[in-house]
């Protein structure tokens, strides 16, 4: 019977990768589960609940020593990596393209790694897509953060003390996070405008009750698998100007634009921030990949000319209960793909397994990670 180990996250991370209900499901799959003491505590799932579900509670070292599949959210700490034995399977959100030296180290230690952020965005993989789950949490929380910093109401009010006009919210990028931000801002009663380079999303945006602002001449690439591609310089200039015109009239801007594998597109210039109304708020969800706003600082909240710019890059950790529930479902669905009758079953003909596996047999086997490694290996 295969043994899966759940490690406790470190630092300010409050989420946990598996819930007690997930322990039950794994047992039905003839899989034993060892959970590090306190792993779910910050998300309000106590050791007792894991034990009751059939897990064995143990210390970190014991788990790494005795289990063959380790699951966690964030990349392993140096303590965890040093304790890992050859042949261990590690499943986590490793962001391999940004953590290439870590991947090289894991390959050399002969750890088989699966990176959950590399799960393809296909219909079959939807139930395992951790990026979509966490973007949903981030899009929702971004709006609540903006609302709590905004010195005005979101909804329109007609009261005896006068009429309050609704907040104007501008959302850049209508992917998973952006769509959730639109829905949340609309529920709070704001008037919402949206920019995206993919014309496909116009209908979805309008269904949610927002106005789609089109910039002509966007490059839309069907082969990009539903993701955006980089735009021409001329388009970027035109878009920046139009965004500027809408930004200066907005109370809140939520930026959620990304192109996979690239730095975040810069959509809001410093001049635009300077021209915005004092008291307005920008939440830049792309802070960790350089920010969509030129003046955003990762994991900081700054105020420039009265405009608050929030660059919080781990919003899902601020909602640990539901974020962990979603991650727990995602990981169970992934484990169902690689565990069969209590044994590990890696079928590399399966596109989800192939795309997600980063290292095996001391080698980096994921093509794009391998290519980046070849280009950058000399620098570390």
- CB of 247: closest distance to ligand NAD in angstroms? 13
Beta strand 281-284 with 31-36: parallel, antiparallel or unpaired? Answer: unpaired
Q: Is 187 marked active-site? A: no
Q: Is 273 in the site for ligand NAD (CB under 6 A)?
A: no
Question: Which residues ranging from 310 to 329 are in contact with ligand NAD (CB under 6 A)?
Answer: 312-316
Q: Which of 24, 56, 81, 121 is catalytic?
A: 121
Q: How far is the CB of 196 from ligand NAD (least distance, A)?
A: 4
- The window from 90-98, 103-111, 172-180, 272-280 that contacts ligand NAD (CB under 6 A) reads 172-180
CA distance 15 to 191: 33
* Widest CA span in the chain: 72
* Residue selected from 174, 190, 281, 369 as contacting ligand NAD according to rule CB under 6 A: 174
Q: What is the DSSP annotation of 305-373?
A: TTEEEE--S-GGGGSHHHHHHHHHHHHHHHHHHHEETTEE---TTSHHHHHHEEEETTEE-SHHHHHHH
d(CA 6, CA 22): 11
* DSSP single-letter state for residue 268: B
Q: Strand 112-115 relative to strand 357-360: parallel, antiparallel, unpaired?
A: antiparallel
Size of the site for ligand NAD (CB under 6 A): 34
Told to check if 130 binds ligand NAD by CB under 6 A, we report no
When the beta carbons of 106 and 201 are compared against ligand NAD, the nearer one is: 201
Q: Structure tokens of 178?
A: 């952006």
Q: Would you state the torsion angle of the CA atoms of residues 149, 187, 130, 20, taken in this order, to the nearest 10 degrees?
A: 90
What are the residues whose beta carbons fall under 8 Å from the beta carbon of 235, sequence distance 6 or more?
197, 215, 217, 218, 219
What's the full length of the chain, in residues?
A: 380
The only residue of 135, 183, 282, 337 in contact with ligand NAD, by rule CB under 6 A: 135
User: Which member of 104, 115, 129, 140 is catalytic?
Assistant: 129
Catalytic-residue membership of 227: yes
CA 283/CA 294 separation, integer angstroms? 12
Can you tell me which residue has the tokens 């590090």? Answer: 36
Return the residues of window 278-297 that contact ligand NAD according to CB under 6 A: 285-286, 289
Q: How far is the CB of 314 from ligand NAD (least distance, A)?
A: 5
* Interface pick for ligand NAD out of 265, 291, 320, 328 (rule CB under 6 A): 265
Among 29, 227, 269, 346, binds ligand NAD (CB under 6 A): 227
Stretch that binds ligand NAD, among 36-44, 161-169, 256-264, 351-359 (CB under 6 A): 256-264
> In the Cβ-directed half-sphere of 284, how many Cα atoms lie within 13 Å?
29
Q: How far is the CB of 132 from ligand NAD (least distance, A)?
A: 6
Active site residues: 121, 126, 129, 132, 227
- Residues at the contact surface with ligand NAD, assessed by CB under 6 A: 131, 134-135, 138, 172-178, 195-198, 201, 227-228, 231, 256-259, 264-265, 267, 285-286, 289, 312-316
């Amino acid at each position: 019977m295969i043994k899966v180990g759940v490690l406790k996250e470190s630092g300010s991370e409050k989420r946990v990768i598996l819930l007690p209900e997930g322990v039950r499901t794994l047992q039905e799959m003839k899989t034993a589960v060892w959970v590090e003491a306190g792993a779910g505590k910050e998300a309000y799932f106590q050791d007792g609940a894991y034990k009751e579900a059939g897990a064995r509670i143990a210390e970190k070292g014991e788990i790494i020593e005795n289990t063959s599949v380790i699951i966690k959210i964030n990349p392993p700490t140096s303590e965890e990596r040093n304790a890992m034995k050859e042949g261990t399977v590690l499943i986590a959100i490793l962001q391999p393209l940004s953590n290439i030296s870590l991947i090289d180290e894991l390959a050399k230690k002969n750890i088989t790694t699966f990176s959950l952020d590399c799960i393809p965005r296909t219909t079959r993989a939807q139930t395992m897509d951790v990026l979509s789950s966490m973007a949903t949490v981030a899009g929702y929380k971004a709006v609540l953060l903006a609302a709590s910093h905004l010195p005005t109401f979101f909804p329109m009010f007609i009261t005896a003390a006068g009429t309050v006009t609704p907040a104007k919210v501008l959302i850049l990028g209508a992917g998973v996070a952006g769509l959730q931000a639109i829905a949340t801002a609309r529920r709070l009663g704001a008037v919402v405008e949206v920019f995206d380079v993919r014309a496909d999303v116009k209908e979805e945006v309008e269904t949610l009750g927002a106005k789609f602002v089109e910039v002509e001449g966007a490059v839309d690439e069907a082969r990009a698998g539903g993701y955006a591609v980089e735009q021409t310089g001329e388009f970027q200039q035109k878009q920046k100007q139009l965004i500027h015109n809408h930004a200066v009239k907005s109370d809140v801007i939520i930026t959620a634009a990304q192109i996979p594998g690239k730095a975040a597109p810069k959509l809001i210039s410093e001049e635009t921030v300077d021209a915005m109304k004092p008291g307005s708020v920008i939440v830049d969800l792309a802070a960790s990949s350089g920010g969509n706003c030129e003046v955003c600082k990762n994991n900081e909240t700054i105020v420039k000319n009265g405009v608050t710019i929030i660059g919080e890059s781990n919003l899902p950790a601020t909602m640990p209960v539901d974020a962990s529930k979603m991650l727990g479902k995602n990981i169970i669905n992934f484990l169902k793909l690689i565990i069969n009758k209590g044994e590990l079953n890696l079928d590399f003909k399966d596109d989800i397994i192939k795309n997600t596996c980063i290292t095996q047999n001391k080698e980096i086997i994921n093509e794009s990670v391998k290519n980046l490694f070849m280009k950058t290996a000399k620098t570390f």
